Amino acid sequence: MRYELKTDSRYKFIEEGLGTPLILLHGLFGALSNFKDLLDFFSRTHKVVIPMLPLYDLTILDSTVTGLAKFVNRFIEHRGYGKVHLLGNSLGGHIGLIYVLKHPEAVRTITLTGSSGLFENGMGETYPKRGDYEYIRKKTELTFYEPSVAGKELVDEVFEIVNNRFKALKIISLARSAIRHNLGEELNSITAPSLLIWGRNDTITPPLVGEEFHRLIPGSELHFIDHCGHAPMMEVPGEFNRILQDFLNRHERVGQPLASG
């Protein structure tokens, strides 16, 4: 199913379903399509919202994870979503963490999957090889346990980004910002119910990163998925959705409709 990309003022986003808002934040090389299976499943029970993060549109000074978290705050306030569930993959998780630390009253739950914020290996740390499609294909495949998940459409998207000098420089700037902005000393102040879903075979934010988040975030839940890399919601959507569904059901308001299997 294809979903409509909506525009409201300067914001572009997908919004489907009714219920408590579930806001999904993509990563550096992420796209709205990364959340297709999750959107199909949870739009039956929640208002699922995927904002297009302005990775290439912020000023140089705002091209940071903090700048993106401020954008998310403005977006949520502009749309009037109230108290939300947040979910972020990779850099999106990092942005979500900064948001919940700044606005704890606005977050019902937070879910992290392959999140940066403590330690990560990534293509954005150095200037990627431009023009080398095979190199980009192999680097993209490293995101997943099963390389075939990195189909031609996804590889083409990444190849286009790294071959656009302006976009590549913005990616590097944001990646370096994420590395510098370590949240280790702040995570113990998070009070929102927190779910960590990690691929057992994640090589970008390895399992030890999930374990460290679990240690530092009070009362957090950690679930590992076997034979899975850095993007569990894409690679193993059935198990990912089951874990998330159970978590959200336990933290919804009384009377909120629950997801069905």
> Is pLDDT of 127 > 60?
no
- Strands of 21-25's sheet, edge to edge? 6-8, 11-16, 47-51, 21-25, 84-89, 107-113, 194-199, 221-225
Cα–Cα distance measured from residue 98 to residue 105, given in angstroms and rounded to the nearest whole number: 13
Lowest average pLDDT, out of 46-50, 86-90, 160-164, goes to 160-164
Cα–Cα distance measured from residue 76 to residue 86, given in angstroms and rounded to the nearest whole number: 11
> Is pLDDT of 61 > 60?
yes
> Is pLDDT of 257 > 60?
no
Query: Is residue 234 very low, low, confident or very high in pLDDT (cuts 50, 70, 90)?
Result: very high
pLDDT attached to residue 88: 97
> Is pLDDT of 49 > 70?
yes
Query: Is residue 229 very low, low, confident or very high in pLDDT (cuts 50, 70, 90)?
Result: very high
Give mean pLDDT, residues 18-23.
96
* This prediction's pTM: 0.89
Residues 6+ apart with CB under 8 A from 73: 99, 102, 103
Q: Where are the domains of the chain?
A: 6-121+183-250
> Is pLDDT of 260 > 70?
no
Using alpha carbons, select from 125, 118, 110 the residue that is nearest to residue 174. Answer: 125
Query: Is residue 132 very low, low, confident or very high in pLDDT (cuts 50, 70, 90)?
Result: confident
> Is pLDDT of 172 > 50?
yes
Cα–Cα distance measured from residue 126 to residue 133, given in angstroms and rounded to the nearest whole number: 17
- Report, at the CATH architecture level, how domain 6-121+183-250 is classified: 3-Layer(aba) Sandwich (3.40)
Amino acid identity for residue 5 in this structure:
L
> Is pLDDT of 119 > 90?
no
Give mean pLDDT, residues 212-233.
97
Largest CA distance in the chain: 54
